[in-house]
Structure formats: structure tokens, C-alpha cells
Amino acid sequence: MRESVLKKIKVPHTYVLLFLLVVVMAILTWFIPSGSFKTVEKEVSPGLTKNVIISGTYQTTSKVTEDGTDIRQGIFDVLKAPAEGVQAAAQVVAFIFILGGAFAIITKTGAISSGLASVANIVKGKESLIIPVMMLVISVGGSVIGTSEETLPFYMLFYPLLISFGYDSITTVMMILLSSQIGYTGSTLNPFNVLVAQGLVGIQGNPQLWLRCIEYVVYIAIAMTFVMLYARKVKKDPKKSLMYESDLRNKEYFISSQNDVDNIKFTARHKIILIGLGAGIVWMVWGLLKKGYYMDEIAAIFLAVGIFAGIVGKLSLNDMGEAFVFGLKDFAYAAIVIGMANAILVIAQNGQIIDTILNYLANGLKSVPVAGFTTVMLLVQNVIAFFVPSSSGQAALTMPIMGPLAELLKINKEAIVTTYQAGNGITNIISPTNGILMAALGLGRISLGKWVKSVIKLVITIELAAMVFCAISAFV
């Protein structure tokens, strides 16, 4: 009964929801005072420099600047925000488009469809093992090296694979996105959150690494249990999935524009193409670990794999070009979603209200009893992560203020780091301002509302577990 009620709740289209959030943010710029902290450029970890705020320097600013510019965001600003959001996320958008075009070429060769059919036959009866194994691998990557954007190529591999196994498209996002964010939430050595935050508050040597390892194990165990139970439920009764009707169409879209994958022959050419794809993934992992590769380099790798696949698959140059354009069309939804998510932040930044919100929250924490400090701090970091989804960006914004506050209350500064990493990781599981989440949902044609309904119980459970660990971190 409860599930049928959830399915009847109408959630706006993702574009509509994001645009409404842009409008709400614009309205807030008329009521929340504008202001800013002074900043200083600082190397927060080897090779990573950030503009770090200086605690105690917050000052309100006029809504109308000396040159007559009104920074309150009006109707025209709202209409400009999506374009500015796409520009702000240009690197991610370009990455998405190149990835989409390259995968479309690979798909046109039939290698993925025939390969999926072959894999399905090989693992028949053991399909469920793929989920925990991939969750473990991706979450370790998130916890140790900050794997996030790098997971985007895997969606186009696992959406069709898991759907062919009888799971739904949400299962794929749970397996990949959740794992990455759980890794961030329980970060152990992640240079983009733990090490940055510790450097900003003057902690050396990662003294609570033992506790962070325990956190990670608990979080991933909870997440794996949740995802496996969910996957089993939707496989047993597909109609229990919020994506049931959509996935009937998605199955055609993902698995093929070809009729029946079971009847596709897995040829030697297909095998060579998939070996090339596997080599590309190995190349990507090597580059991430050894050469500091990021989105531009990863896009280049998959473009090379796409061209290789087209040549081996005997596609003409025109066929490859048409497939690439077809891929751009399919990925346009995800790319624009990223821009719309960034538009919310563009409005808040242009209206200069982010620092004001941070200042209000920090001042409010001063009156919180020590016993409940870490719990309230976690909730505060949850809120800030909505406005600043970047983990290193949130660290640069909050650590210089929260660190001295912890010293004032005689609380272990490691607790500040723990609340920050948990707040950022948990919020980004469901936040529309997290571009990677919105891209993942866009690739799977999943609305944000359906995603949130599917994972909200897990999010609450992880949040409660994080409250316990944050409290422990403060007093050990």
C-alpha cells in the first residue's frame, strides 16, 4: 500500500525541478544579506591550491555595488543561469559528450550487445555477485583516491548488463554512485577531502585513520546490504521498481537497437573490440594512479577506443560519424542537467549569499552544547554541501571557521574533519547540485524524485551511523 502511494506521488521533471530551485535561490538573494569572507591562496595538499577563507573576516556587502550593479538576482539572471551553469561545468559537459559519442560507436559495432549476452550466459545463476564486488572496488577507490567523475564510463557498461540480468536501472546507480559516495563518506586517505581538511586545521599524520577504517567498513556493509535487498526485490517482482515502466523502454534503448541479444553471434571482431575497451579502462586506471589523469585525458582514452572499435568493426567513416552524433543526442540530457544543477550555485554565488549562510551557521554553532555539537555540526555540513558539492571546496570554505570553533569548545579537531566528510558525502547522494549524480541519473533516464524515494531510507540510516562516529571522533 505504502509503495503504491509513493508511486502515485507526482514529481516534477528533472529540468523543471532544477529550474524551480534556481528560482527559489534567486528569491533568497533578495532576502538573505550579501557578504563575504576575505580569502588567501593556500596549498592545502601537495599540488592542490585553494582560496581559503580567513576566519573572523566576514563582512556584509551592499546589494548594489559602487558602480551601480544590483547583485540581487532577477528574472533575466534566472534565465541566464542555465547557460552560465553549463559554462561553469564545461569540462564535465565536454567529457560527457565525448564519452557518449565514443560509446555510441562501440555500441553500433554490436560488440557490447553480443558481449552482454555472452557474459549473461557465463554468470547465469551468479549475477548477484557482480553487485557487491563492484561496490567494494568503487567504494575503496572513493575512500582512498577520491574516485568520482572517473566512474561515469561504467554506467554505459552496467546499465545494460544489470537490466539484462533482471534488475532495474536504479540498481546500477546504487552500485556505482552509492559506492563512490559511501567511499567519500568513510574516506580513509582521500586526498580531496580528508587530507585537505586535516591540512587546513593543522592535523598531521591522519591520527584517526583506524577510526576512519571502521567507519568505512560499517558504511559499506550497510550500503551493500541495502542494495542487495533492493536488487533481490526488484528482480523477484519488477513491478515493485519505481522505474518499471521506464525500464521496459530502457531495455530496448540500452541493450540494443538490435532485436534479440540472445541471437547475436559473439564474433572474433567483437572480442577484439571488447579487449580494446578493457585495455582502455586499464589505461585509465593506470593514468589516474600514476599520471594524475582527469576528465580530458579520460575522454581522450575513450575517444581512441571508439575509433579503434569503429575500425575493427568495419564501420565506414560516415557510419562512425553518424553514430558519434547519435551518442551526443542521447547524452545531451545528462549534459544539460549538469548545467542546470550548476545554475543553482551560479545564482547563489552571484548574489553573494553563500558566505552569509556559512557565517550564520557557524555563529549558531557557538551556542550549541558540547554534547550535541558534532550532531549539529554534521547537519550544518549537510546543508553547506548543497551549496558547495565539491569536497575540497567545502573543506576550504568551512575548515578555517570550524577548526578554531572546535578548539574553543575543547573538542578534538578530527571531529570537525569527520563531520565535514560525512556531511559532504551523504548530501551528495541525493543533492541536485551534485553534477555527477545528475549525470548518472540522466544517463539512465531516471528522475531525481524516483532516485530519492528509492534511497532515502539508506541515507537516513547512514546519517544516523555518521552521528555516532562523529561523536566518537570528538572524544577519542
Q: Mean pLDDT for the chain?
A: 86
Averaged pLDDT for residues 456-466: 97
Question: Is residue 219 a part of any domain in this protein?
Answer: yes
Residue 89 DSSP one-character state: T
| Rounded Cα distance, 52 and 37, in Å | 9
Range of the domain at 226: 2-58+72-475
Averaged pLDDT for residues 340-362: 88
Question: Is residue 100 a part of any domain in this protein?
Answer: yes
pLDDT band at residue 329 under the 50/70/90 scheme: confident
Q: How many CB atoms lie within 10 A of CB 281?
A: 16
Question: Is residue 66 a part of any domain in this protein?
Answer: no
Question: Is residue 357 a part of any domain in this protein?
Answer: yes
Question: Is residue 64 a part of any domain in this protein?
Answer: no
Question: Is residue 65 a part of any domain in this protein?
Answer: no
The two beta strands, 48-53 and 34-36, are unpaired
What b/e sequence results for 183-203 when a residue is b if at least 16 CB atoms lie within 10 Å of its CB, and e otherwise?
Answer: bbbbbbebbbbbbbbbbbbeb
349: pLDDT strictly greater than 60: yes
Question: Is residue 67 a part of any domain in this protein?
Answer: no
| Rounded Cα distance, 141 and 123, in Å | 25
| Rounded Cα distance, 123 and 101, in Å | 29
pLDDT value at position 318? 94
Entry pTM: 0.77
Q: How many domains does the chain have?
A: 1
pLDDT digits (tens, 9 = 90+) for 354-379: 889 888 888 888 778 877 889 999 99
